[in-house]
Structure 1
Amino acid sequence: MNLFTIPSPSSLWTTVRPGGAFNIACSFAALWAFVKVLRMLRWRVKTTQLLGPPRTSLVYGVSHDLAISQNSAAMYERWATEYGVVYMIPSVLGQTTVVLCDPRAIAHFYTREIRTYVHTPLSLALLEAAVGKGLLWAQGETHKRQRKALTPAFSNAAIRKLTSVFYDSAYKAKGKWDTVIESSKDGDAVIEVQNWMNHISLDTVGIAGFSHDFGSLDGKPASVTEVFDTFGSNQPSAMNEFFILLASVFPIILKIPTKRRNLFKKLSVTMEQISNELLIRSRREKDANMSQGGEENSLVGLLIKSEGQDAELHMSAEEVVAQMKVLLLAGYETTSGDLTWALIELSRHPDVQTRLREELLAFGPDPTYDQLKANLPYLDAVVHETLRLRPPVPESVRVAAEDDVLPLSEPVRTASGNMTDSISIAKGTLITISIPAINRSSAIWGPDSKEFKPDRWLTEDGIGGKAKEVQGHRHLLTFVDGPRACLGKDFAITEFKTVLSVLVKNFVFEMRDGPNTPVEAARGILPRPRVVGEDGTGVPLRIRQYE
């Protein structure tokens, strides 16, 4: 080659391009690191630095310990005892999370939840993938508009009219159980109750919300039933937990097609197909229903009404379908899990079960909606004690969208050793509240806080002074609080009471392997009970008819 030959432009670019691309990449990486350092410095200056547990993992902080624990609430409570009612925990890849265990700080947090404290990018991605851009996903004015549009479907008047639907599902399950028990030789039968509670809840929400019977109590095959049931038999793998933890920093990781992500995708597609089918049918029936005095305040009626371009609280087609998916998911997952927990606790505490049955039998006929609310105090106590000990949703995790100051009901010691009665929170700070940790806290609920003790709801002094400081339904965080408080609370509690009253009046429940049978937390879509050694979320109970 002649040393004086001028290289062609293409060969010159081939020579320079790799180095140029590398330099550009390095420049972007340096800029990203610089911005991260500036944000970290601002965060450290603006946020009160608190005490907290040391990291147990360089990568995960303490997040992996919490994720694999059978009782993360106990870990949060132990740290609150050691470090104060507000403290910091090290999280994934150097992140820090502020944990709130103080009733006053928690009340402040929930009142500002849709503006100051908002979903994290991970939460938004997970919710959108599972149920779309509906009420659970929405924030700010969008959340306010969607909630206002749906509120009439969950009023006292609306739930009062739906009580007969709850009874119908409960009695359908009773009839199936009677058949199983009567065909047994010993006068009792072992029945896997969680699956039945799932199907009671799904059929109920189908009829009550959409005038559609999924028929799962009759064994009717339906795509949504099959997908929901699959979650119970497919527990999250260690690899899935690894992806979720890293996704808290890099949400794009959720795009990786894990088995569980594919299951969520299938669930979302299935619920969307069913929602669209129900909407098409309901639109066709709308005029006929209205001419016969049909209820526009039913959930599906409100959704169809909101589709109109001139509707005061207009929702897009995407939002309408998302609301239906939310109700399907919530109707299947939440009440069914707590009904299962209630049957477990009654099986473990036969004296409580007997006392509840006596109250129900003494009352006589099936109570109305208003009687369920006011005339059966022990049923109310059993239901709320279950809701206290076993909230379906384990945590509220949010990120601060702006700087804020959290007031405290008692002072805490900062990392520098000073005492303070308020905490400065910088924009970008992660906040978490462990709902079961607050519901079961000994400092808040007293020394018997871990016990299933319905009597605490029956006396004036049963709910202690500290517990009374917790804002939320009956001083519980089970339905959270503030503008994101569960819209379906009354629906869920009425269904819970109705189904439990029918089952306890007619059957006696025992743990199959004795009252000390160990039960652990498994995971459907949300945490679920499971008898240790059972597959999926199996809860087999020995059941006989009450004579």
Structure 2
Amino acid sequence: MPLFDLLPSLLLVVLGVVVCRRLRSLFAAHGPRNGLRALPGPPSPSLLLGYAWQFWTTDPTELHEEWVGRYGRVLQYRIFGYNCLFTMDTKALGHILARDDVYQKPHQMRTFIAQMLGNDCHQNPAFGPMQIREFTDIFFTKASQVRTMKKPRLYTKTDIMVAVQLRDILSLEVARNRDVAKVDIYDWVHRMTLDAIGEAAFGYNLETLDLDSKPNELCEAHRLVSQSVTRMSLYPMLRFCFPALRILPEEQSRRFAHARGVMTCFVRQLIEDKRRELAEDTSSKLYRRKRGDFLTLVVEANMGTLLPEGEKLSDETIIDECTTFLTAGHETTAITLSWFMYCVAANPVVQEKLRSELFTIATEHPTIEQLLSLKYLDQVLREVTRLYPAIPSSLRMAMEDDLLPLEEPVRINGMKHDFVWVPKGTPIVMPNLAMNRDKALWGEDAFEFRPDRWDALPEAVSVIPGIWANNLTFMGGQHACLGFRYSLNQIKVAVFTLLRSFEFQLAVPVEDIGKSTTLLVRPMMLSNPEKGPQLQMLVRAYRQD
């Protein structure tokens, strides 16, 4: 019998297994030990799907915020047969982030990430959190220093180089269009951050900002992926929650596989080139001074004699880590920088005040100390990351039974409790954006873009368990974003370079600019979502009086 004729039967078997597993978890969820079902929360609209459909068609953050107003700061709801815990209790969130051995990313999430980037190297003992942190700290230390002690320290040579290159490209566009150019600023900062991570992490010029270069396959692969996930669709989400469905082909997964293949080939070739260059170099000390990128450090350590054979990394492990570094190192930076430009374009008073501060520095190549002295630049950046986190929420799952402590007691069965019992296998939503604009902590103007709020923050926000700027944008704990300083530094350099040269204005009504309802929140046009992420702006040369 042809395989095509067997497909419907196979699909029914798969769906039968999935339904049985979900019904089993459904009955287990209502067992006597599960204290979650006693928590307040919205009634489930569907026995099997729960609130899955609502999350694919509505902004989940807005839905969560509505529930918090109705049921309190600790609640539960159902999705795909699971009892999910949602909390905005700061003590509970701090406990979850600190106990990363108990609360980990769900298997489905790790599988989804591996589909795009490779296996999660943070789970590999040879490349665990401490080892990655050491490599990253070494890399950022080297990247933030010039090669001679006689010169002042810069943020990074790479960041300044690509920012100036983008400035020159925009200048050319303005001249070609008679003083006013309409550009997709998201596309250009995406190229800029990709070039920067290529130079900084791999010592390789991707040339995505080079107008005369041929189309870059790596850049196009990233573009295809970002365009394919502008909006949620049900089937990819079913594949995410039900791994058995992944045997069936689907367009988004094919694009992920293609991008993953392109990145793997690119990194594998770089590893071979690094090994050859290191083997041919007769002076390793001189070489290290010349090339201090992340990949060189990893390959050199692997080739050396200091590491025992059992601790040396396989090529596949290096490839997985580098593809993660490549994507995570530029994508979220590009998104945050795009939202920064949106905020200053939508708020001309803020843009002019910020530009005036930038011109208090005479040089085009500022030192770290000079950029750190720019108080308003730092305030605007903090406000942008607060209101526009690239990842609005994150998932964790309890790997074992645990008691979750609470700052504010919750009422269960008529009694107040300072703890919530969390059974093994419970999904937990980490509400990054909801916490960042929580009116109970930030005040009634929490949804407003107001950089001046950082002159006098409410005392309540000091208990938010994030690693930077009193918010959860970069998370906290051992699995907080390792590269957040690199990202912030690059954004500051780009803003410093661009705003001193240009005036930015939105090219479409502000009401037409929306957010993609996906894992990463990119800017898009509500009137043309099919075109994918974009942020159209009018750019003019800035001329001082």
TM norm. shorter chain > 0.5: yes
Equivalent residue in structure 2 for 1:82, among 49, 64, 70: 70
Alignment correspondent of 1:110: 97
Q: Deviations over 1:1-24 (max 9, x none)?
A: xxxxxxxxxxxxxxxxxxxxxxxx
Is 1:49 the counterpart of 2:38? The answer is yes
Deviations along 1:333-371, whole A, 9 cap, x unmatched?
101111111111111100000000000011221354522
Q: What's the secondary structure of 1:476's corresponding residue? A: coil
| Counterpart residue number, 1:330 | 328
1:210 to 202, 208, 213: 202
Please say if residues 43 and 427 of structure 1, whose CA atoms lie closer than 8 Å, have aligned partners that are also in contact: no
Q: Deviations over 1:397-433 (max 9, x none)?
A: 111111111111112222x232222211111111111
Aligned positions of 1:111-510 closer than 5 A? 111-113=98-100, 115-135=101-121, 138=123, 143-144=128-129, 146-156=131-141, 158-161=143-146, 163-185=156-178, 187-219=179-211, 220=213, 221-235=215-229, 240-245=233-238, 247-248=240-241, 250-287=242-279, 288=281, 290-295=284-289, 298-308=293-303, 311=307, 314-366=312-364, 368-371=366-369, 374-414=372-412, 416-457=413-454, 459=455, 461=456, 463-472=457-466, 473-510=468-505
Contact between 2:105 and 2:395, CA under 8 Å: does it hold in 1?
yes
- Cα contact 2:336–2:384 (8 A) shared by 1: yes
When structure 1 is superposed on structure 2, of 357-366 and 144-153 the one drifting more is 144-153
CA distance in 1, matches of 2:91, 2:48: 33
The 1-side partners of 2:491 and 2:391 are apart by 16
**CA distance 1:33–1:58, shift in 2 (3 Å):** closer
Deviation at 1:72, TM superposition (A): 2.3
Q: Quick one: distance in 2 between partners of 1:222 and 1:73?
A: 36
* Matched position secondary structure for 1:217: coil
**After superposition, what is the alpha-carbon deviation per residue over 1:182-234, rounded to whole angstroms, capped at 9, x for unaligned?**
1223x211111110010000000000111101100014322111111123433
Partner deviation per Cα, 1:222-277 (whole Å, 9 max, x = no partner): 21111111234334676x433314632x2232332210000000111110000011
The one-letter code of the counterpart of 2:426 is T
- Tell me the amino acid that sits aligned with residue 269 of structure 2: E
C-alpha contact (below 8 Å) 1:73/1:437 kept by paired residues: yes
Output the CA distance in 1 between the equivalents of 2:231 and 2:446. Answer: 32
Aligned to 2:152: none
Opposite residue 147 of structure 1, the aligned amino acid is I
SS for the counterpart of 2:500 is helix
- Residue 292 of structure 1 aligns to a residue whose secondary structure is helix
Question: 1:517/1:278 Cα in 2 relative to 1: closer, same or farther (>3 Å)?
Answer: same
Decide whether aligned partners of structure 1 residues 154 and 59 sit closer, same or farther in structure 2, where only a CA change above 3 A counts.
farther
Alignment counterpart, residue 532 of structure 2, candidates 517, 533, 536: 536
1:519 aligns with 2:513: yes
In structure 2, distance between residues paired with 1:292 and 1:315:
24
In structure 2, relative to structure 1, the CA distance for the partners of 1:367 and 1:192 (3 Å cut) is same
State the alpha-carbon separation in 2 of the partners of residues 316 and 341 from structure 1.
Answer: 38
Structure 1 alignment gaps of length 5 or more: 1-24
**Counterpart Cα distance in 1 of 2:333 and 2:261:** 23
Cα distance change on mapping 1:182 and 1:29 into 2, 3 Å: closer
Question: Which residue of the partner structure matches residue 11 of structure 2?
Answer: none
Calculate the aligned-residue CA RMSD, in Å: 2.7
CA distance in 2, matches of 1:387, 1:498: 16
Structure 2 Cα separation of the partners of residues 30 and 503 of structure 1 = 54
Is the CA contact (8 Å cut-off) linking 1:188 and 1:543 kept in structure 2? yes
8 Å CA contact 1:169–1:203 kept in 2: the answer is yes
Letter in 2 for 1:106: L
1:97 partner amino acid: C
1:29–1:171 distance in 2 versus 1, CA, 3 Å: closer
Alignment of 1:24-35 (within 5 A): none
Q: Is the 8 A contact 1:232 1:524 kept in 2?
A: no
**Alpha-carbon distance in structure 2 between the residues aligned to 1:243 and 1:524:** 11
Residue deviations 1:76-118 (CA, integer Å, cap 9, x gap): 12211221211101111x21100121111111100112x1011
CA shift in 2, pair 1:34/1:213, >3 Å: closer
Cα drift, residue 142 of structure 1: 5.6
Larger Rg: 1
- Post-superposition CA distance 1:137-176 (Å, at most 9, x none): 6278863354245333454454345612101101101111
* 2:395–2:428 Cα contact (<8 Å) kept: yes
Q: What letter is aligned with 2:335?
A: G
The TM-score, its normalising length taken from structure 1, stands at 0.86
Higher mean C-alpha deviation, range 138-147 or range 96-105? 138-147
